Amino acid sequence: MTPAAATMPPQRGFGETMRVDAWWKQPLLIFAGFAAFIIYSTWAAFQGTHYHFGPYLSPFYSPELFGDSPHAWFGPKPGWWPGWLLFSPALLILWAPGGLRLTCYYYRGAYYKAFWADPPACTVGEPRKTYLGERSFPLIMQNVHRYFLYLAIIFIFILTYDVWKAMWFADGFGIGVGTVVLAINVVLLAAFTFGCHALRHLIGGFRDQLSRSPTYPAYRCVSCLNRRHMLWAWLSLFWVGFADLYVRMCSMGIWHDLRLL
């Protein structure tokens, strides 16, 4: 008996699909959400002012390596900084958490669809005929994700210390709305960071007999967060921007911080 000849389905043109649902809604919302965050965070990072208020420090500016606030680790802007180069403490450090998000497995899937239409959605035709994937330059660079994860974990500890400092006002211990805002920020960022796919692999995912591994309980914790990685990614993205906005508005005198304790 002669085997039937296999035929490939015809290649779809850009946007062509047999889907009848509103497949374009999700990439559109993701595009709008990412674009809003990128515009706001870039604007805030370049300001270089109104990033601290009392014991609060905006997470966009933490750790403040050099700067004018009392939170600066090494004092004011260094003398060797070129005069023609704009200085903002945020620009010295934001590349690290930004790099984590840029190379995150969830975000990659989301922004490849929303920004590059590659493809716009599952089973929807894309605007190009070739697929180089993440095994060639430039997307092979996404493999640095694990190193951004190491840095992000250090940032979680630094931001936790910021919350501790946010409890010490000029008149002693206290808790303000800003303290709560910064604390929620750390919780959400930690839930996002500790649910990372790369961490799940590192913590035991590479083993053949995971259940016998001493890291099994930790692996289960990471897996628990990992199941909602997309949710943590969005909540932490929104809240870190809001935390900066809160500190900024208080510093500008537009909002007034309420002391709870």
Give 52 or 101: the residue with its C-beta nearer to ligand FES. 101
196: its two tokens? 């990372």
Tell me how far apart the alpha carbons of residues 101 and 109 are, in angstroms, rounded to a whole number.
12
Give 113 or 229: the residue with its C-beta nearer to ligand FES. 229
* Residue 31 touches ligand FES, criterion: CB under 6 A: no
* Residue 232 touches ligand FES, criterion: CB under 6 A: no
Give 57 or 233: the residue with its C-beta nearer to ligand FES. 233
- Closest approach of Cβ 103 to ligand FES, in Å? 8
**How close are the terminal C-alpha atoms of the chain, in Å?**
84
Give 100 or 243: the residue with its C-beta nearer to ligand FES. 100
* Residue 100 touches ligand FES, criterion: CB under 6 A: yes
Give 104 or 237: the residue with its C-beta nearer to ligand FES. 104
Q: Where in 105-144 is the site for ligand FES (CB under 6 A)? A: 105-106
Tell me how far apart the alpha carbons of residues 57 and 95 are, in angstroms, rounded to a whole number.
18
Angle between helices 105-116 and 229-251 (to 10 degrees): 80
- Closest approach of Cβ 206 to ligand FES, in Å? 15
* Residue 93 touches ligand FES, criterion: CB under 6 A: no
Q: Where in 180-219 is the site for ligand FES (CB under 6 A)? A: 196-198
Give 50 or 197: the residue with its C-beta nearer to ligand FES. 197
What is the CB-side half-sphere exposure of residue 46 using CA atoms within 13 A? 7
CB proximity list for 97: less than 8 A, separation 6 or greater: 151, 152, 155
Contact pick of 104, 110, 181, 250 for ligand FES (by CB under 6 A)? 104
Residue ranges that bind ligand FES, judged by CB under 6 A: 100, 104-106, 145, 149, 196-198, 229
